[in-house]
Amino acid sequence: MRQLIAGNWKMNGLGQAAFAEIEALRAGLAADPPHADVLVCPPATLIARAHWAAKGAFPLGGQDCHAQASGAFTGDVSAEMLKDAGATWVIVGHSERRQYHHESDADVAAKARAAWRAGLTAIVCIGETERERMDGHTLDVVSRQLGASVPDGATPQNTVIAYEPIWAIGTGKTPTSAEIAEVHAHIRKIVGAGTRILYGGSVKPSNAKEILGLADVDGALVGGASLKAQDFLALIAAAAERS
């Protein structure tokens, strides 16, 4: 399957500068068509403008959604609203949401169902803490999160899994290739052959080729290195050619 390189801008990006990065990304992809599918998940405030600037060259995604379609939930954004703004994807259960907003696996599952209801593809994030890895619990944690965060009804079309070890996010630390391969093989056994499994956590142009070359790594979820089009393009160029 074609790899997916997804950029997660987190809470970064303001009007004109963000617009320029989207334009640069579009121009770079047009000049050098990638082997991989590309996705950008900017802040919700930028989705409509980014969608316009991308001109269909790549899709846009949200970074979170509420489980309900509408209602008295001040400050929240629904999957339907993301769709309305031009998104076709949404990340759910990112560790920063789980940690800072106390989202449980059940909350994440409800958000994934909301994504499907709105016609969005959900990227469901899972991953262990440093303590859990040191204690040898990584595979158990990943199994438990997959079971509880991914609702029944998940298909390769409506769901992508992102394995993101929490201790690797934004730290510059990554697991060894053998460690990544072990977890991805474990996830593969659970989710089956057709479902994309992304790796996330300190993916950069310098390590992308090695990580994206691993079996059962079907792409990457990229934070810091997705903010600048030139870095992101270099990373996209490292995607493995798979049919």
CB closer to ligand PGA out of 28 and 201: 201
CA dist 10 → 18, 31, 40, 94, 222 (Å): 13, 27, 11, 10, 10
Question: Is residue 8 close enough to count as binding ligand PGA by CB under 6 A?
Answer: yes
Question: Is residue 78 close enough to count as binding ligand PGA by CB under 6 A?
Answer: no
Least Cβ distance, residue 169 to ligand PGA (angstroms): 4
Question: Is residue 203 close enough to count as binding ligand PGA by CB under 6 A?
Answer: yes
Q: Please list, in sequence order, all residues whose beta carbon lies within 8 angstroms of the beta carbon of residue 75, skipping any fewer than 6 positions away.
A: none
Least Cβ distance, residue 202 to ligand PGA (angstroms): 4
CB closer to ligand PGA out of 151 and 223: 223
CB closer to ligand PGA out of 96 and 105: 96
Q: Determine which residue in the list 38, 53, 142, 222 makes contact with ligand PGA, applying CB under 6 A.
A: 222
Q: Determine which residue in the list 201, 212, 229, 235 makes contact with ligand PGA, applying CB under 6 A.
A: 201
Least Cβ distance, residue 200 to ligand PGA (angstroms): 4
CB closer to ligand PGA out of 53 and 169: 169
Least Cβ distance, residue 171 to ligand PGA (angstroms): 7
As annotated, the active-site residues are 94, 164
CB closer to ligand PGA out of 15 and 170: 170
What is the x/- site pattern for ligand PGA, positions 146-185, by CB under 6 A? ------------------x----xx---------------
CA angle 61, 63, 65 (to 5 degrees): 100
Q: In the chain, how long is the greatest CA-to-CA distance?
A: 47
Q: Determine which residue in the list 138, 145, 149, 202 makes contact with ligand PGA, applying CB under 6 A.
A: 202
Question: Is residue 62 close enough to count as binding ligand PGA by CB under 6 A?
Answer: no
Alpha-carbon distance 73 to 19, whole Å? 29
Only segment of 69-77, 97-105, 145-153, 221-229 that touches ligand PGA (CB under 6 A):
221-229
Provide the sign of the torsion angle of the four alpha carbons 26, 31, 32, 36, taken in this order.
positive
Binding site for ligand PGA (CB under 6 A): 8, 164, 169-170, 200-203, 221-225
